[in-house]
């Protein structure tokens, strides 16, 4: 909605406002990195000019819904309680004022309700100047295994001795999560090797996701296995549990023992493989983004089946996930005319997966933990020989991508709080 009413302008000047800044509609911390120079408003638009020259516009209806008073949110939970349809009419602005402490005070009609807004929060949520609100927290970096010596690696010795506090910074975890989100893979070294210690490690990111394999699963050769992973045979490049409607987003593999012959780990960036397919064989790429394959895990005690494309793109056409696991594909149940093109595309993909340039090879040492994006990274292993003695024992678990992103946001929040406190800004 727009209005032809005259625009009023307010420049920065002292007022009788309280020194404390107003609350925000979330639990985050928003340091004031740039002050407001002036305000102007029409009935439907608030315009802020910042001291660095940026001009930001906010719709009145958006501001009303995102206020932080107890008529809009529950202050205990920061969840919205306002139903816009219960207001007397479309919210508009009848007054705007810039307070001495930098807060923005707005009066909304027809409620005649005056509400205050935190300038740091307004700057952080400036949708008028944000090119992509859904941009990833960390830029995605595709890679070829031949171009690197090993996974991004951090020394985690004595890391678990530090207390876990949700609101404190953790530089090592932050580096690990940034590598995980950006590159899909990170390795931590020198962690404890006690069986079961993986759960406490995982919970530094978030709660493990249980599956039919349990919260934690043991990856080692065993009698009567219910997965190829629980043998000593080689495993081809694959993701885990593509048989699920929502396949796990992250996988953790923690090495407890490894003194066998063979069993070298292989990782490859599924997004890099998909991009190579798109460039070399665009018709096959299109087929694998469209045809829904059957993925099946029909074990003795469970029967999981799901249908999805092998390559999935998000709403912006960027890579979102791959579902590649030859040993977990059931019979293709595609329309008749899609069957041969689907298999032709599959063969082109399989040939790519055998190209050495994509593969990153390394050996697990006891105390190593790899965390990887299970909807992006393909993992594999060479066969290992148990006949000559020795043991290869990894423990694994699954988490969700959401947990890594949430934890990284919390770490960044702690950093903003420390920066705010150092600058002397008033707490919210």
Query: In angstroms, what CA-CA distances link 219 with 118, 167, 230, 241?
Result: 51, 34, 6, 15
In order of 103, 160, 210, 398, 399, the CA distances from 215 in angstroms are 48, 20, 4, 8, 10
- Signed CA dihedral, 398, 401, 404, 407: sign only: negative
What pLDDT sits at residue 12? Answer: 40
Of 35, 41, 23, the C-alpha closest to 108 is 41
pLDDT number for residue 123: 96
Which residues of the chain are modeled with pLDDT < 50? 1-7, 10-18, 426-428
Provide the mean pLDDT of the chain.
Answer: 90
Enumerate helices (H) and strands (E) in the chain, giving the number of each.
8, 25
Instruction: Determine the longest span between alpha carbons in the chain, in angstroms.
Output: 87
User: In whole angstroms, what is the distance from residue 428 CA to residue 75 CA?
Assistant: 12
Q: Give the number of other CB atoms < 10 A from CB of residue 373.
A: 26
Phi, psi angles (nearest 5°) of residue 278: -60, -40
Q: The tokens of 415 are what?
A: 């950093």
Q: Say if CB 39 and CB 96 are below 8 A apart.
A: yes
pTM greater than the 0.75 cutoff: yes
SS3 state at 164: coil
273 with 358: CB under 8 angstroms? yes
List the domains of the chain with CATH numbers.
8-130 (3.30.2020.30), 145-410 (3.60.130.10)
- Residues 216 and 196: their CA atoms lie apart, in Å, by 8
33 near 49, Cβ under 8 Å? no
Return the residue matching tokens 């992250």: 250
Give the list of residues 6+ apart from residue 78 with CB closer than 8 angstroms, or none.
25, 26, 27
106-127 pLDDT, tens digit per residue, is 999 999 999 999 999 999 999 9
Counted residue by residue, the chain has a size of 428
Tokens of 264: 């070298």
Q: From 290, 285, 306, select the one nearest 338 (Cα to Cα).
A: 290
d(CA 4, CA 44): 10
């Amino acid at each position: 909605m727009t209005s032809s009413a005259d625009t009023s302008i307010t420049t920065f000047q002292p007022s009788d406002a309280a020194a404390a800044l107003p609350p925000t509609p979330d639990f985050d911390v928003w340091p004031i990195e740039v002050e407001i120079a002036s305000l102007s408003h029409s009935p439907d638009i608030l315009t802020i000019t910042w001291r660095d020259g940026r001009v930001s516009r906010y719709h009145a209806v958006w501001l009303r819904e995102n206020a932080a008073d107890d008529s809009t949110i529950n202050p205990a939970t920061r969840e919205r309680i306002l139903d816009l349809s219960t207001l007397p009419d479309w919210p508009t602005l009848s007054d705007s004022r810039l307070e001495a402490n930098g807060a923005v005070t707005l009066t909304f009609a027809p409620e005649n309700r005056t509400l205050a807004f935190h300038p740091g929060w307004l700057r952080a949520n400036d949708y008028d100047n944000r090119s992509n609100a859904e941009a990833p927290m960390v830029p995605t970096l595709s890679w070829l295994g031949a171009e690197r010596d090993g996974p991004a690696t951090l020394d985690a010795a004595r890391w678990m001795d530090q207390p876990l506090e949700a609101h404190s910074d953790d530089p090592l975890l932050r580096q690990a999560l940034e590598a995980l989100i950006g590159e899909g893979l990170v390795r931590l070294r020198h962690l404890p090797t006690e069986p079961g210690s993986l759960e406490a490690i995982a919970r530094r990111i978030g709660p493990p996701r249980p599956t039919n394999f349990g919260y934690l699963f043991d990856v080692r050769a065993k009698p009567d296995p219910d997965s190829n992973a629980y043998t000593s045979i080689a495993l081809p490049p694959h993701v885990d549990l593509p048989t699920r409607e929502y396949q796990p987003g992250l996988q953790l593999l923690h090495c407890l023992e490894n003194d066998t012959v063979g069993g070298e780990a292989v990782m490859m960036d599924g997004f890099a493989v998909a991009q190579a397919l798109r460039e070399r064989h665009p018709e096959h790429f299109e087929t694998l983004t469209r045809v829904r394959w059957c993925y099946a895990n029909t074990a003795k005690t469970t029967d999981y089946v799901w249908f999805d494309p092998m390559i999935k793109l998000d709403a912006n056409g960027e890579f979102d996930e791959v579902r590649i696991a030859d040993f977990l594909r059931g019979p293709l149940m595609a329309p008749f005319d899609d069957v041969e093109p689907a298999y032709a595309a599959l063969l082109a993909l399989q040939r790519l997966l055998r190209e050495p340039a994509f593969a990153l090879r390394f050996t697990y040492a006891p105390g190593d933990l790899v965390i990887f994006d299970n909807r992006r990274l393909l993992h594999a292993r060479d066969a290992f020989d148990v006949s000559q003695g020795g043991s290869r024992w990894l423990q694994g678990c699954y988490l969700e991508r959401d947990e890594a992103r949430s934890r990284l946001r919390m770490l960044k929040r702690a950093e903003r709080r420390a920066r705010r406190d150092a600058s002397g800004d008033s707490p919210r």
